[in-house]
């Protein structure tokens, strides 16, 4: 047996010439070789349905010392197999009939080696088989190796002149035997010096395949197909759509909504099965009873996994749609191992509005606020706590076209009202993240959303106040502060006001949020920029004026730096630091004159408050 490796090399060269004209199989798909190297061992469950099979190692190939002296084949020769990567099928473990050897789908091939004690003059492998069964063709002939009960394809074994007592044959499974096929074979050997001169392995086991013919098989193997079942498409592939147009509850997509079709391979137990080699959706579109056309749409991998494929179609408003799905191996232009689904049909709806338009948004969608904020009451949260608001539409064929938050924000120095945009996520979900508030901030908001026809629905009010310890996750010796601009003429907070924070070697600019306060954001990222403890210069420009102040950051508790501006007359009862007061030029000299007299009257009264506020701002 030590001569077999050299003998095998010679055999590959000879067989490359010999087997070339046997079949015209198309090239294997890209990546198949990699699949074969990692395929599951044949001891796994059978890949196709059929009679109960024997467990592995129940029908091993007999292993006796070769002594050609009678008609008993396995006493005359020693037969061994080499199946790459599968020790459980190598040597004498390759099973005889009635057991079947199950091989990986893309196995390149395997060797059969024969050794005897007399010189051989001829070795022949008799091969026949069937391709993967379907309900319409349960026993279709394997191309090149027909299974018709009358003819058998005979292939010569390689006998080296230097070692005539050895013979080998390479089963080139990747080239000649399609996945899903079952192959039967036996061996005939001739010797001019032995008695009898001809022996055949089929006489050792009287297994007749197929039933009713005289074809006796000694061995059989099946290449695993991509599908475990040949009885139905639904046993191998699960079809789902979004929105659902097949199965139980039906939700025809609305006029602006596309349809996503997803297929998933199934295994014998209902879990995810083997990869789907190739699949296509065939689409028929009909408008008003007329035929618009048929389209083939290939499936693409979902999440980089060929166990799940998806395809997107539409929208085709008002059309009647028919579609079905075909899946196959890429051999022979899809003629091998092909399976097809039933035909599904649905109408592309002209509907898609709110299911209960007479009720509020809460009755038509799911509104989620995190952390939990109770509608109709005021919830207390820690300062600097961001709040996430999401709206999800549970009805599959209802689309949210847009949504906003309407809000009112206030603190001890002013207030502001406005709208805050929400971001769409797909066709049925939207969200917004509200920034954490300064201590003492109070926010009330409601959600306004529109359906595909722009019909608006509003939620009730959600209200919360943030105070106390900061919820921000601060690094040691760093913190942040808020910057706020206030219009002293109207007691309103200023959104969109530009401000800059700097020290001797660094600066960064930003604008105040729609809520009238601002913080520095991490550049090119999300989250609040934390500043090391130290002294900073803060300046703000708005309403045509610029103001600056210096602050010292020395505590993990965020504070608020405030600037007062005015674009009109300032009330005599205003409570604000005089040193920070700017009367904007927008109002002109008349407004300034109106403001001077009241300011002078309460100047002395407010002086102490101004000094106290200056001390607080600068810490």
Domain coordinates of the chain in residue numbers?
4-223, 233-347, 361-470, 478-618
In the prediction, which pLDDT does 203 show? 74
| Beta-bridge partners for 145 | 142
**Measured between alpha carbons, how far is 461 from 357 in angstroms, rounded to an integer?**
19
In the prediction, which pLDDT does 590 show? 34
**Measured between alpha carbons, how far is 383 from 482 in angstroms, rounded to an integer?**
12
CA nearest neighbour of 384 among 444, 467, 445: 467
- 3-state SS of the chain: helix, strand, coil percent to 5? 15, 40, 45
In the prediction, which pLDDT does 63 show? 95
**Measured between alpha carbons, how far is 485 from 512 in angstroms, rounded to an integer?**
8
Residues ≥6 apart with Cβ < 8 Å to 392: 365, 366, 368, 428, 429
Most confident of the ranges 57-61, 199-203, 234-238, 268-272: 234-238
In the prediction, which pLDDT does 614 show? 42
In this structure, what token pair is assigned to residue 200?
A: 């055949």
pTM of the model: 0.59
| Mean pLDDT score of the chain | 81
- The mean pLDDT of 424-434, rounded to a whole number, is 92
Phi-psi region of 518 (alpha: psi -120 to 50; beta: other; left: phi over 0): beta
Mapped onto helix, strand or coil, the DSSP state of residue 558 is coil
**Measured between alpha carbons, how far is 301 from 36 in angstroms, rounded to an integer?**
20
CA 195 and chain centroid, separation: 66
DSSP string, 478-543: EE--EEEEEETTTTEEPTT-EEEEE-SS-EEEEE--TTSEE--B-TTSSSBPPEESEEEEEEEEET
Class of 233-347 in CATH: mainly beta
Lowest-confidence segment of 242-246, 394-398, 520-524, 570-574 by average pLDDT: 570-574
User: Phi, psi at residue 262, to the nearest 5°?
Assistant: -125, 140
Binned at pLDDT 50, 70 and 90, residue 572 comes out as: low
Question: Long-range CB contacts (< 8 A, 24+ apart) of 32-39?
Answer: 32/106, 32/174, 33/106, 33/108, 33/174, 35/104, 35/105, 35/106, 36/104, 36/105, 36/106, 36/107, 36/108, 36/174, 37/85, 39/85, 39/104, 39/105, 39/106, 39/107, 39/224
Domains 361-470 and 478-618 share a fold: yes
**Measured between alpha carbons, how far is 368 from 387 in angstroms, rounded to an integer?**
10
**Measured between alpha carbons, how far is 384 from 397 in angstroms, rounded to an integer?**
38
Residue with tokens 């730096």: 561
Q: Write the CATH number of the domain with boundaries 478-618.
A: 2.60.40.10
Taking domain 361-470, whether its CATH number is 2.60.40.1220 is answered by yes
Classify residue 164 by burial, with Cβ atoms within 10 Å: 0-12, 13-18, 19+: middle
Instruction: Answer whether 201's CB lies under 8 Å from 75's CB.
Output: no
pLDDT tens per residue across span 518-530: 999 988 766 899 9
**Measured between alpha carbons, how far is 219 from 204 in angstroms, rounded to an integer?**
11
pLDDT tens per residue across span 104-162: 988 999 999 999 999 999 999 999 998 888 777 777 888 889 877 667 899 999 999 89
Lowest-confidence segment of 94-98, 236-240, 245-249, 589-593 by average pLDDT: 589-593
Classify residue 10 by burial, with Cβ atoms within 10 Å: 0-12, 13-18, 19+: middle
User: Phi, psi at residue 275, to the nearest 5°?
Assistant: -55, 150
Binned at pLDDT 50, 70 and 90, residue 335 comes out as: confident
Mapped onto helix, strand or coil, the DSSP state of residue 599 is helix
Instruction: Answer whether 390's CB lies under 8 Å from 426's CB.
Output: no
**Measured between alpha carbons, how far is 599 from 581 in angstroms, rounded to an integer?**
10
Instruction: Answer whether 283's CB lies under 8 Å from 311's CB.
Output: no
Residue 421: Cβ within 10 Å count: 12
- 24 or 169: which carries more pLDDT confidence? 169
- The mean pLDDT of 222-241, rounded to a whole number, is 90
In this structure, what token pair is assigned to residue 535?
A: 């002294």
């Amino acid at each position: 047996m030590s001569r077999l490796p050299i003998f095998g090399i010679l055999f590959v060269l000879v067989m490359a010439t010999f087997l070339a004209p046997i079949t015209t199989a198309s090239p294997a798909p890209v990546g198949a070789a990699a699949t074969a190297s990692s395929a599951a061992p044949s001891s796994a469950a059978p890949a196709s349905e059929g009679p109960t099979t024997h467990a592995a190692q129940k029908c091993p190939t007999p292993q006796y010392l070769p002594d050609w002296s009678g008609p008993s084949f396995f006493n005359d020769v020693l037969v061994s197999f080499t199946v790459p990567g599968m020790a459980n099928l190598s040597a004498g473990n390759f099973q005889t009939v009635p057991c079947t050897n199950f091989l990986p789908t893309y196995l390149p091939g395997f060797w059969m080696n024969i050794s005897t004690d007399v010189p051989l003059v001829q070795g022949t492998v008799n091969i026949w088989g069937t391709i993967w069964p379907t309900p319409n063709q349960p026993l279709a002939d394997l191309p090149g190796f027909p299974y018709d009960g009358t003819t058998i394809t005979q292939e010569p074994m390689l006998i080296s002149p230097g070692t005539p007592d050895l013979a080998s044959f390479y089963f080139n499974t990747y080239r000649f035997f399609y996945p899903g096929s079952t192959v039967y074979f036996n061996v005939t050997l001739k010797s001019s010096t032995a008695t009898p001169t001809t022996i055949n392995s089929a006489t050792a086991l009287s297994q007749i395949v197929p039933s009713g013919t005289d074809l006796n098989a000694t061995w059989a193997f099946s290449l695993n197909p991509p599908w475990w079942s040949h009885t139905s498409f639904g046993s191998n592939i699960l079809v789902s759509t979004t929105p659902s147009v097949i199965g139980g509850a039906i939700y025809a997509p609305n006029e602006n909504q596309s349809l996503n079709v997803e297929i998933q391979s199934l295994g014998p137990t209902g879990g995810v099965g083997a990869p789907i080699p190739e699949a296509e959706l065939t689409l028929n579109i009909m408008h008003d009873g007329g035929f618009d056309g048929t389209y083939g749409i290939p499936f693409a991998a979902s999440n980089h996994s060929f166990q799940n494929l998806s395809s997107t179609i539409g929208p085709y408003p008002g059309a009647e749609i028919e579609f079905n799905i075909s899946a196959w191996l890429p051999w022979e232009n899809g003629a091998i191992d092909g399976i097809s689904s039933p035909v599904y049909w649905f109408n592309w709806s002209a509907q898609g509005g709110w299911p209960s338009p007479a009720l509020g948004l809460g009755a038509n969608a799911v509104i989620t606020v995190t952390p939990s904020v109770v509608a109709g009451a005021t919830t207390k949260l820690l300062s600097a706590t961001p709040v996430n608001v999401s709206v999800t539409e549970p009805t599959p064929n209802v689309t949210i076209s847009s949504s906003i938050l309407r809000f009112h924000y206030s603190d001890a120095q002013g207030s502001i009202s406005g709208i805050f945009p929400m971001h769409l996520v797909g066709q049925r979900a939207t969200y917004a993240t509200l920034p954490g508030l300064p201590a003492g901030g109070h926010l009330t908001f409601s959600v306004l959303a529109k359906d595909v026809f722009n019909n608006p629905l509003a939620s009730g009010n959600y209200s919360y106040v943030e105070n106390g310890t900061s919820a921000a996750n601060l690094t040691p010796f760093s913190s942040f502060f808020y910057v706020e601009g206030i219009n002293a003429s109207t007691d309103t907070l200023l959104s969109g006001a530009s401000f800059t924070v700097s020290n001797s070697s660094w600066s960064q600019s930003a604008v105040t949020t729609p809520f009238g306060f601002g913080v520095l954001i991490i550049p090119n990222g999300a989250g609040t920029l934390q500043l090391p403890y130290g002294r900073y210069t803060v300046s703000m420009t708005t309403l045509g004026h610029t103001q600056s102040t210096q602050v010292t950051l020395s505590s993990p508790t965020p504070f608020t730096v405030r600037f007062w501006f005015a674009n009109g007359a300032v009330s005599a009862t205003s409570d604000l630091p005089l040193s920070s007061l700017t009367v904007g030029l927008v109002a002109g000299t008349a407004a300034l004159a109106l403001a001077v007299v009241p300011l002078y009257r309460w100047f002395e009264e407010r002086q102490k408050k101004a000094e106290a506020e200056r001390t607080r701002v600068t810490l």
